Every structure is written in C-alpha cells, then in structure tokens.
C-alpha cells in the first residue's frame, strides 16, 4: 500500500462527494505529506475537517492546493431550481402522485402506500 492509498485516495486521482471527502479529509496530515512528496500533483478542496479552515492549517501553506468555500448551493439559479422542484413535488402529492424527489423512499412508501 502506497502513500496515496494510506491517505485514503485512489491511485488514479480523487473525485468524491463532499460527505465522503469530509470523512476522509480527517487525514489532513497524510494529505499534506502526499502533496509535499509529489505523490499527487495537487488538490482542490472545498470541504474541510473543521470549518472554516483554521488559519494555521498546513493546507494553507502549500502552493499545490486550491482552497475555496463550499458554495454549491449559493446561486440564485440553484434556489430557483430547488424551489421549483419542491413546488412540483407538492403538486404531485396533492394529485395523489408520488413525488419525483424523495430523499428516503422507504419512509415515503410506509407513509403513503400504493
């Protein structure tokens, strides 16, 4: 097992959903070592083990790291789109139809059978 695998990242790179990255990024020290050792070319992060990222974090000292806030839902388009989805699903419920966007279908099925 090499340093990339030890750090918790696949050998062919790293693309993970935020929750998975948040879980794995607790190994910040290992990520810093992998970056300093040149095992991976760089990292772009928007999720941190502690938010906001502390001023003394070693990630802030590396040229190979791009840090940004986690703002995926901060645009007016996202708010408009999500609002439309919610309204559409509420209208479907009112008509007796199953909503399209159900986060926990098992709960919906037990609450609204058929």
pTM: 0.47
- 94 to 53, 62, 89, 90, 100: CA distances (angstroms): 44, 54, 9, 6, 13
Q: 43 - beta bridge partners?
A: 65
Does residue 58 have a pLDDT over 60? yes
Report the C-alpha gap between 72 and 46 in whole angstroms.
9
What pLDDT was estimated at residue 112?
Answer: 75
22 in catalytic set: yes
What pLDDT, on the 0 to 100 scale, is given for residue 20? 58
| 96's tokens | 């007796």
pLDDT of residue 95: 92
What pLDDT score was predicted for residue 69?
Answer: 77
pLDDT at 1: 43
The vertex-14 CA angle with 57 and 102, nearest 5°, equals 100
Q: Which of 29, 51, 82, 97 is catalytic?
A: 51
Select which of 23, 30, 70, 92 is catalytic: 70
- Asked if 30 is an active-site residue, the reply is no
Identify the active-site residue in 22, 23, 30, 92.
Answer: 22
Tell me if residue 82 is catalytic.
no
Q: By three-state DSSP, how is residue 80 classified?
A: helix
Residue 40 to residue 77: CA distance in whole angstroms: 34
Compute the average pLDDT of residues 39-58: 84
Q: How far apart are CA 9 and CA 3, in angstroms?
A: 9
């Amino acid at each position: 097992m090499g340093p990339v695998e030890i750090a918790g990242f696949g050998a062919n790179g790293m693309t993970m959903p935020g929750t998975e990255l948040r879980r794995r990024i607790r190994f910040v020290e290992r990520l810093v070592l992998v970056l300093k050792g040149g095992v991976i070319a760089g990292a772009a992060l928007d999720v941190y083990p502690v938010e906001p990222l502390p001023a003394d974090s070693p990630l802030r000292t590396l040229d190979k790291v791009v840090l940004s806030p986690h703002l995926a839902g901060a645009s007016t388009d996202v708010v408009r789109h999500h609002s439309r989805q919610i309204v559409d699903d509420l209208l479907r419920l009112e008509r007796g139809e199953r909503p399209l966007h159900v986060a926990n279908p098992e709960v919906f099925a037990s609450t609204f059978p058929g």
